[in-house]
Structure 1
Amino acid sequence: MLKAELRRKYTQKRKALSTDEAFLLCQKIFENFIRYFSPKESQKVHIFITIPARMEIDTQIFIQYFLAQNIRVYVPKIVADKLINIEIFKDTVFETNSWGISEPVSNDDSGENYFHYVITPLLYCDKKGNRVGYGKGFYDGLFQSISPDSKKIGINYFDPDEDIDDVWENDIPLDYLVTPREVLSFTSGLE
């Protein structure tokens, strides 16, 4: 199936979830992530901040856990059409931008290019780790700019069941996908 078709299909599937269903699925995704990866103090995690209007997986439970465990947390922010990585702390000040996204007030790019885990937003991921995002290419750019040793992890409400037919040469696949049911690995020897 083409990315545009998958984008429409999975946007609709997301919208069909009730608030209670989405909450329970987010909890299971979080639990599967923690159980599988066992993140540790001082590790570095890059994680997106949820856009509620898009019914994205709620990453606040991840962020609160990481900060409480002294795991270093970095979030993306778009500044002048470029994605930068900002380290956040318990006292970081946030504001809502014009798209309704909560983001740090600071524009100080951390300059970090190695993360133990890069938790990535997506609408769909196939069984090979190819993902369908929102079509802006920000995460493709991020993946090209960070260390190849950083684990790229998608989180999604839905299991993969269809191939993406229009994967491009420059698309960088995920290393893992975490769903409410399981954690899928798309690489060998990356543990």
Structure 2
Amino acid sequence: MLKAELRKKYMDKRKALSTDEAFLLSEKIFENFVDFFKPVSGQKVHIFIPIEKFKEIDTQICINYFLSRSIKVFVPKIVDAKLISVEIFNDTKFEINNWGISEPVSNEDSGFLGFNYVITPLLYCDKKGNRVGYGKGFYDDFFKMIPSETKKIGVNYFNPDENIDDVWENDIPLDYLVTPTDVLSFFNGVE
């Protein structure tokens, strides 16, 4: 299927979830992430703040876990049409931007790129790690800047069952996908 078709299909599937269903599935995704990756104190994670109106995965569960275990947390913020990484703490102040996304008040780019994990929003991911986002390309640009050993991890309520037919040469695939039932690796057995 084409990205536009998959974007619509999976946005509709997400909207069909109740708030309770979305939260329970988010909890299972979080549990699968922790069980598989076993994050530890001192590691650094870049993770998105969910867009509630789009019923994105509730990453606040992960953020609270990371902060409580001295895992450094960085979140994206779009400044001058570019994705920057802002480090957050328990007392970080947030505001709602023009797109209805909660983001840190600070515009200070940490400049840090050596993350252990980048947990990435998406609408769909196929069995090769190709993802469908919202079509702005922020994460593809971001992925070009981070070290190759950083694990690029998508999170989704749904397992892949269709191929993306219009993958572009600038699209950078994920390394892993975490769903409520699975952790899929796209390394073909090589890590």
Cα drift, residue 124 of structure 1: 0.1
What residue is the counterpart of 2:38 in the other structure? 38
Provide the rounded CA distance (Å) in 2 between the counterparts of 1:91 and 1:116: 23
What residue is the counterpart of 1:99 in the other structure? 99
Cα drift, residue 54 of structure 1: 0.6
Q: How does 1:38-187 map to 2 (within 5 A)?
A: 38-187=38-187
Cα drift, residue 189 of structure 1: 3.0
What residue is the counterpart of 2:23 in the other structure? 23
- TM-score in terms of structure 2 length: 0.98
Cα drift, residue 106 of structure 1: 0.6
Cα drift, residue 169 of structure 1: 0.7
Provide the rounded CA distance (Å) in 2 between the counterparts of 1:95 and 1:12: 27
What residue is the counterpart of 2:190 in the other structure? 189
Question: 1:189 corresponds to which letter in structure 2?
Answer: V
What residue is the counterpart of 1:4 in the other structure? 4
Provide the rounded CA distance (Å) in 1 between the counterparts of 2:20 and 2:63: 20
SS at match of 2:76: strand
Greater CA drift, 179-188 or 153-162: 179-188
Q: What does the per-residue CA deviation read over 1:9-55, in whole Å, with 9 as the maximum and x for residues that have no partner?
A: 00000000011111110110000000000000010000000000111
Query: Which consecutive unaligned segments of at least 5 residues does structure 2 have?
Result: none
Provide the rounded CA distance (Å) in 1 between the counterparts of 2:84 and 2:3: 26
SS at match of 2:177: strand
RMSD over aligned CA atoms reads 0.7
Provide the rounded CA distance (Å) in 2 between the counterparts of 1:160 and 1:95: 34
SS at match of 2:64: helix
Provide the rounded CA distance (Å) in 2 between the counterparts of 1:6 and 1:174: 17
SS at match of 1:56: coil
Provide the rounded CA distance (Å) in 2 between the counterparts of 1:121 and 1:173: 13
Runs of at least 4 residues off by over 3 Å:
none
Provide the rounded CA distance (Å) in 1 between the counterparts of 2:81 and 2:113: 18
Cα drift, residue 155 of structure 1: 0.1
Aligned identity (percent) is 72
Provide the rounded CA distance (Å) in 1 between the counterparts of 2:33 and 2:60: 14
Question: 2:154 corresponds to which letter in structure 1?
Answer: G
Q: What does the per-residue CA deviation read over 1:92-150, in whole Å, with 9 as the maximum and x for residues that have no partner?
A: 11111111111111111011111100000000000000000000000001000111111
Provide the rounded CA distance (Å) in 2 between the counterparts of 1:114 and 1:83: 15
